[in-house]
Each structure stands twice: as structure tokens, then as C-alpha cells.
Amino acid sequence: MTRHWLAGDVAAAAAALTAGGLVAFPTETVYGLGADALSDRAIAALYAAKGRPSFNPLILHVADLAAAAALADLPEAALRLADAFWPGPLTLVAPLRAGTGVSSLALAGLPTVALRVPAHPLAQALLRAVGGPVAAPSANRSGKISPTRAAHVLVGLAGRIAGVIDGGACPVGVESTIIGFDPRGAVLLRPGGLAPEPIEALLGDRLHPAEAGAITAPGQLTSHYAPRAALRMNAAQVEPGEVLLGFGPVANATFNLSPTGDAEEAAANLFAALHMLDGQAARIAVSPIPDTGLGRAINDRLRRAAAPRPAGEGT
Ligand code: TXA
Ligand code: MG
């Protein structure tokens, strides 16, 4: 049976996770599907529940910087970013320390580890109750739309997981920004819920693009976050048979991500809007969204949702 825990039940959810169970929980970005990062069996069950290709490494969630620094050798630039932006929607990739006991299945055999300290109070409460690293990809079946409500989690995963902690809607709404480090400096592996501009301002340097062919971040599988409906970006007008996912002051939107053109509001609404419109139409047109601030992450997710699907996927 899949449990639906409320905010007061975090201790029960933590016990289920510590016993090897899969527990979905809210973060400020999206709901994560948590598993004990020290347990190969729990991680194997996590990949199976998501239907995820096991070569895709997971983000480990910890309660604070001290716990992160115990797992990875964080370079100086990572420490500065952590200091400024943790807890928050930022993931840092750095070399794994020896002897941590982290499941190599969770890391897909890589010598590096992706670490995040989420700010959401229920995520913090869960991590403190568990006391060790929690591996947590977004709590959706692989390739499907990410969940920003407990109900989205249950649509995809009921019967496959121990339960979900219900924290209502996720305030940021798109996954964390992932930053790695190479000899050039900081590398943007995935645009996400922390806009690139404040990161560049803090570092006093631009974020470098990920090298083609390197181990980059998410949904490197080009088709990802895929609704069943076909999606057309930068739509100046609506064609027959389409519904409009609007942005800014446009007429005839079936749903408007932000009538005032605010990218933060749009990010918070994005996945819930895709979940909703997906049930209503075969074709979704999306208004143009400026590619700055959180617009970077929104356009990245829309591009993947619009990408042609391999046969058998996205259906
Ligand atoms: O906001 C988020 O980041 C959410 C919430 C639940 O925290 N989590 C999330 O996890 O989006 P997931 O598994 O869907 O995305 C993790 C991405 C993977 O696609 C992977 O490519 C990248 O992080 N990643 C993990 N370890 C990495 C590593 N060592 N090097 C490069 N990328 C890595
Ligand atoms: Mg995901």
C-alpha cells in the first residue's frame, strides 16, 4: 500500500526510508523520490520504480554543508556557492571522498557526486530524521513530467513506493540548477531553479557551457519531461487543434503561466500546467518566453518536452 503522509508524519516516513523503502517528499523545486543512498538494494528498487536507465546518476540530498563536505571534496568555488545559495535550488558536482559508503549504483560508477541541500522544511525534517544521504531523483516515471504536487507523484508511482509526504505545491517548480567544476571554472550542467545571473555575479566569472560528450546532467536523453501531447514552442499564434499555454499578456490562453510575464511565477506553474493540459489536448502551443533568469530552465524543459520521442516513449 502506498501511504499518504501529512507534515506531522515525517518520523514515520523517515523510518520507512531507513528500512529501505522509497519515500517521495517535497522540496522547493519538485517532489523527490528518496532512497537510502548507502543501500544498493534501496537504490536498485528506486531505479526499478522509476523505470530509469541505471547509467543516469542520482543527486544525493543532505541537511547541511557539513554533511555535503563529508561526502565530497568541494573546490573553493563550490564552497562559495554553497555558502551563498544553500539551502536552496542548487546542486554541486564534485569528487567523491573515499570511504563514504555511498552506493556506487547511485553514482552510476562515477568518481564524482552531485549534492544538494534543499530548503523545504519537510525535506529538511526528513533529512535530519534519516541522518544520512538520501538519493532523490524527481518522483515521476522516467521521461514523464516532473511532479510539483503529491497528487502528481501518486498518478505515476502509486503502488510502486512506500508513500509520499504531502507538502502541497512546490514553490520553485523546476529542478535545481546543477553546477560542476573543470579547469575552466564553473560549468552549467543543467539550468534550473536558481537563475544563472546571480551565480555568475557571485563568482565574478561566466558559467561555462558543458562540453559536448562529457557526462553532463539531466535528461541528457533529449526527450524528457514529456507530455503525451505534441508541444510547439515560441508560438506567435494558435493553430487549429491547439491549446495555448500562455506567457505574458496574450489572448486565448487555456492556461497562462504568468499573465504579467514573471519567469519565477511561470516556473512555479510549469509542470502543473503541463500535467493539466496534457489531459485536454493533443497539441499544445507555448508563447515565447525570454531566455533569461528562470526562463533558461523553463525553455530547457520545454525543448525537451517538445523533442521527438524514441518509439515507445512518451506515450
Ligand atoms: O531539484 C532537483 O534537483 C530534484 C529534486 C528532487 O532535488 N532532483 C532531480 O534529480 O532533478 P534527477 O535525478 O531527476 O536529476 C539528477 C541529474 C541527473 O540527470 C544526472 O545527469 C545529474 O543530475 N548528475 C548526477 N550526478 C552527476 C554527476 N556526478 N555528474 C554530472 N551530473 C550528475
Ligand atoms: Mg527528473
Residue 294, all three cell numbers: 528562470
Cα separations in angstroms, 268 against 9, 174, 287: 26, 7, 16
Report the half-sphere exposure of 48 (CA within 13 A, side-chain side): 11
pLDDT at 284: 96
Ligand nearest to the CA of 143: 2
Residue 103, all three cell numbers: 552506493
Mean pLDDT of 47-55: 86
pLDDT at 224: 64
Percent of the chain with pLDDT over 70: 93
Q: What angle do CA 173, 179, 181 make, to 5 degrees?
A: 175
- The yes-or-no verdict on residue 6 having pLDDT over 60 is yes
Beta strands 23-26 and 31-36, pairing class: antiparallel
CB-ligand 1 contact for 163 (6 Å cutoff): no
pTM, to two decimals: 0.92
**Cα 142 to middle of ligand 2, angstroms:** 7
pLDDT at 53: 77
| Furthest CA-CA distance within the chain | 59
pLDDT at 313: 40
Q: Indicate the Cα dihedral angle 119, 125, 130, 131, nearest 10°.
A: 70
**Cα 217 to middle of ligand 2, angstroms:** 10
Residue 189, all three cell numbers: 550542467
Q: Are 60 and 125 in contact (CB under 8 A)?
A: no
pLDDT 10s digits, 114-163: 999 999 999 999 999 999 999 999 999 998 999 999 999 999 999 999 99
pLDDT band, residue 214 (cuts 50/70/90): low
Q: How far apart are CA 315 and CA 35, in angstroms?
A: 27
CB-ligand 1 contact for 298 (6 Å cutoff): no
Ligand 1: atom nearest CA of 112 is 29
CB-ligand 1 contact for 215 (6 Å cutoff): yes
- The yes-or-no verdict on residue 312 having pLDDT over 60 is no
From the number of C-beta atoms within 10 Å of its C-beta (0-12, 13-18, 19+), residue 242 rates as buried
Ligand 1: atom nearest CA of 192 is 1
Alpha helices, H only, the chain:
10-18, 40-50, 65-71, 76-85, 121-130, 150-157, 196-203, 263-278, 295-306
CB-ligand 1 contact for 146 (6 Å cutoff): no
Percent of the chain with pLDDT over 90: 85
Q: Which residue, judged by its Cα, is nearest atom 5 of ligand 1?
A: 32
pLDDT 10s digits, 61-114: 999 999 999 999 999 999 999 999 999 999 999 999 999 999 999 998 899 999
**Hey, which of 28, 29, 55, 91 would you mutate to test ligand 1's pocket, going by the most ligand atoms within 8 Å of its Cβ?**
91
pLDDT at 56: 85
E strand or H helix at 19: none
Q: How far apart are CA 197 and CA 160, in angstroms?
A: 39
Cα separations in angstroms, 15 against 21, 138, 261: 9, 21, 43
